[in-house]
Amino acid sequence: MAERIPEKLYALVYLTAILTRPGQSALDVAMELGVGADIPVVMEQTTGTCTIVREQASAVFYNILDEAQASRHINRLCPDPIQPMMFPIETTAGRFGLVPKYFIKAEFDRAIPLEKQEKMIEYYPGLIAMSLPSDHSPFFSMPERLVEALIQITQSVSSNRIARSTSWRQC
């Protein structure tokens, strides 16, 4: 969306996510960095999906939740389509590059380890990163802290927009 309609977006927020460079697919980045190589998944060729092996999901996605909490979320996991991860993402500095970018790192993420998150953050100078002492699923393991981080981002975006609109009026 940032490439197609950058003027409609205030910011992009990545939450312990795969960041691609122009022309790369999420799968390209995952292979380059070795992300996900050790996560046991079941590939379903007929549906073009993959699903993490349920017995391993807690250790990968919910490693700071207790067993009962993790189990509740594991039971809601469903197959993920593979094809979207294979398409290269084409972006330009003149459109995608105009949208402010934020990345919320999860320090104890086992799906995308912290050092891999930090490597991807290097792809975008100017990207603002913050950290949570979370697993891959901070929306479950620490929702209040995640909301605080999102509010902080919203306040940053709002003050930057006001500063930009004020400077434009002065020109």
pLDDT tens figures, 9-58: 999 999 999 999 999 999 999 999 999 888 989 999 999 999 999 999 99
Residue 135 near residue 64 (C-beta atoms within 8 A): yes
Q: Which fold has domain 6-160?
A: Rossmann fold (3.40.50)
Residue 142 near residue 132 (C-beta atoms within 8 A): yes
pLDDT at 37: 84
Across the chain, how many H-helices and E-strands are there? 6, 6
- Output phi, psi for 51, to 5 deg: -135, 135
- Each domain of the chain, given as residue ranges in start order, spans 6-160
Average pLDDT over residues 124-143: 96
Write the pLDDT tens digit of every residue in 91-123: 999 999 999 999 999 999 999 999 999 999 999
Mean confidence (pLDDT) of the chain? 92
pTM: 0.88
Question: Could you tell me the pLDDT band of residue 170, with boundaries at 50, 70 and 90?
Answer: very low
Among candidates 129, 128, 106, 127, which has minimal Cα distance to 21? Answer: 127
- Which is more confidently placed, 52 or 161? 52
Q: Classify 149 in phi/psi space as left (phi over 0), alpha (psi -120 to 50) or beta.
A: alpha
